[in-house]
Amino acid sequence: MFKGSLVALITPFRNHDVDETAFQEHVAWQIGQGTHGLVPCGTTGESPALHDDEHKRLIALCVEVAKGRAPVIAGTGTNSTAHTIELTRRAKAAGADAALIVCPYYNKPTQEGLYQHFKAVHDSVDLPIIIYNIPGRSSVDMTNATMSRLAKLPNIVGVKDATNDLGRPLRMRVDIGADFCLLSGEDATAVAYLAQGGDGCISVTANVAPRLCSEMHEAWQKGDTAMVRQLNQRLIPLHDALFAETSPAPVKYAASLLGRCTAEVRQPLWAIMPETQERVQRAMRGAGLLN
């Protein structure tokens, strides 16, 4: 259903408010650069710091620019089932094509709790759902067995897998089948994930290198492994630099160097350190993104 390079969109701010013009220009640039899917209001978009009205507005703004040229997968997950249902309903009303729902963070539900959480959202809103499994931030790890149960529900269509366990996609293909969409959530291992049965990547790096990321996935789909290797080697220092401090602060700084937005993040995030700024600049020059 979804494949290739999908961008985990940053949310531009200016003087603490959402910069709607910068956001829509960023979405339009992504489409023009060949990005295959758009993910507004995910954690890279600082969703925990967004007000509900901002959340709904950003999804609507993204849909308005996309105009069906690329699917819009709206981040709607929170650590409250009722709130997640409400945000998912709003995303559907705004025209999103699917919802990306993170495993509830901090609460640490059991595997049965995870199943019941996602089932409750599934049963409440008629919208395709991609599970976001990121144990490093949520403190819970959905097992393949739980995911297999959820995959039997018609609108649970895939996973954004940020476990960095490269055995998982292969095992999920065996356990769940070919129709379940497997998207990496880790830029640095995205190619290895594709080799293990993945369909694509929901990428942070694509915010600043959309053309390189989309070309790499298109080369993979064509079987041009030499081009994949060349592009991947070009991008790996940038992947590393963009996670040198807590994301999305480094990628927003990188985007500011391209004039796409300010580097502003909302608290409790904070601006990156000068040494990290220098590292991001070096990586962008190395990737050919800055003169």
pLDDT tens-digit map of 119-128 = 999 999 999 9
pLDDT tens-place string over residues 21-32: 999 999 999 999
Contacts of 169 (CB under 8 A, 6+ apart): 161, 182, 184, 193, 196, 197, 198
Q: Are 73 and 38 in contact (CB under 8 A)?
A: yes
Q: Which domains does the chain have, with CATH numbers?
A: 4-222 (3.20.20.70)
pLDDT tens-place string over residues 84-93: 999 999 999 9
Say which of 115, 132, 193, 253 is annotated catalytic: 132
Q: What is the pLDDT of residue 140?
A: 96
User: Tokens 């590393």 label which residue?
Assistant: 240
In whole angstroms, give the CA distance from residue 291 to residue 289: 7
Q: Where residue 1 falls among pLDDT bands split at 50, 70, 90?
A: confident
Mean of the pLDDT values across residues 171-180?
95
Q: What is the pLDDT of residue 291?
A: 83
Beta-strand pair 17-18/13-14: antiparallel
Q: Is the pTM of this model over 0.85?
A: yes
Q: Is 108 a catalytic residue?
A: no
DSSP per-residue string spanning 90-101: HHHHHT-SEEEE
In whole angstroms, give the CA distance from residue 200 to residue 33: 17
Mean of the pLDDT values across residues 157-179?
96
99, pLDDT greater than 90: yes
One-letter amino acid of 164: N
Say which of 3, 56, 92, 160 is annotated catalytic: 160
153, pLDDT greater than 90: yes
pLDDT tens-place string over residues 217-261: 999 999 999 999 999 999 999 999 999 999 999 999 999 999 999
Q: Is 160 a catalytic residue?
A: yes
* Helices 274-286 and 249-257, axial angle in degrees (round to 10): 60
